[in-house]
Amino acid sequence: MSENELVLKAKNGDISAFETLYDKYSGKVYGYALRMTENTEDALDLAQEVFIRVYKSLAFFKGDSSFSTWLYSIASNVCIDFNRSKNRKKTAPLDEALSIPDLKTPENEFEKKEFTQAIADAISSLPFDMREVIVLREINGLSYIEIADALDLEVGTVKSRISRGREKLCSILKDYGNKKKSFPSKDVKGGQK
């Protein structure tokens, strides 16, 4: 069954169709909320709030944009409202949804975790408007047009924020790499001649 058919059935009160849409998007909405709030409990609450709003508003969805664009628009508004009302400290690493190639050695596992945390910290340090578009584009895979529709922005504004966000991320990660190079290598064994 196509997504449009699921949406139509859900609009007509088919709970099973709504549950299918929920199953398809709940992980993505949670991941988005986690990146925007940096707190697992808040992200769970906000993801639940998003789907409550979606359920209550589904009758008003006209289909002018894709369902996912409309859903991310609601998710964005929920996260913006939350961030306006709360001044939260960072309490959870964002590595849960970042994907790094699977490396098998213990040393590489440590480096993977360290690098994942560096990426999470870099994303966290971005201003909210840049972080929002970077997460939607680079992690959730939305197109520029979908992001513009979801956030009610011009496509040029989206491209500009993504460009500035990428530059800032590269700078932050470059600094991280330079700091790592200043430490002695783990492979050097003390006491060898």
Within the chain, which residue ranges are assigned CATH 1.10.1740.10? Answer: 1-92
The whole-number pLDDT of residue 184 equals 41
The burial class, CB within 10 Å (0-12 / 13-18 / 19+), for 71 is: buried
Question: Which residue ranges in the chain fall short of pLDDT 50?
Answer: 88-101, 103, 181-193
**Maximum pairwise Cα distance, the chain:** 77
Domain 96-183 class? mainly alpha
Which residue blocks in 86-140 are alpha helix, DSSP H? 106-125, 128-134
Spatial contact of 166 and 126, defined as CB atoms under 8 Å apart: no
Identify the CA nearest to 150 among candidates 19, 22, 20, 28: 28
Q: Which two tokens stand for residue 46?
A: 């906000």
The whole-number pLDDT of residue 94 equals 44
- In CATH terms, 1-92 corresponds, of 1.10.1740.10, 3.30.70.20, 3.40.50.800, 2.40.30.10, to 1.10.1740.10
Q: Which two tokens stand for residue 91?
A: 């309490």
Within the chain, which residue ranges are assigned CATH 1.10.10.10? Answer: 96-183
